[in-house]
Amino acid sequence: MAETEKRTLTQGIMEDFRLGIEPARFLSKALRGKQREQADMDSNEIADYALERANDFMQGCGVEALKAEGAHVDDYYYDTVALYVNMGDTYAMTLIYDTERETFHRMSWGDWLEKQETAGRYKFD
């Protein structure tokens, strides 16, 4: 695929996580809060649901939290600034949820953490 071509979310999920079309479509909808089960969920519950389903499809090692020194996102997440699917390696491609900005990212959690520190957004132990 040429660099100038834009991938759909489903295509990106298929390629980044080596998933078939059906799991990728399901996750694409879940990340946008469009699954039927998510109809009455708030944004925190939508993120939790999407990450748990991603963990299942990606055969991850669970959903983990990244906490930052002195951070307070809200009364739900407290100092948890991101949640991610643990793939067993700091620099393995994964799905990350930025709890403050309420956005999903497809990248390693190690790269995400370094990017946040470099930008001066958070300090990690």
pLDDT of residue 33: 86
Using the predicted structure, report yes or no on whether residue 3 has a pLDDT greater than 80: no
Q: What is the pTM of this model?
A: 0.87
Distance CA 71, CA 124 (A): 10
Residue written as tokens 């990106």?
Answer: 12
Are the CB atoms for 66 and 78 separated by under 8 Å?
Answer: no
Using the predicted structure, report yes or no on whether residue 1 has a pLDDT greater than 90: no
Residue 121 burial (C-beta neighbours within 10 Å; 0-12, 13-18, 19+):
middle
21-80 pLDDT per residue, tens = 999 999 999 998 888 888 888 888 999 999 999 999 999 999 999 998 888 888 888 888
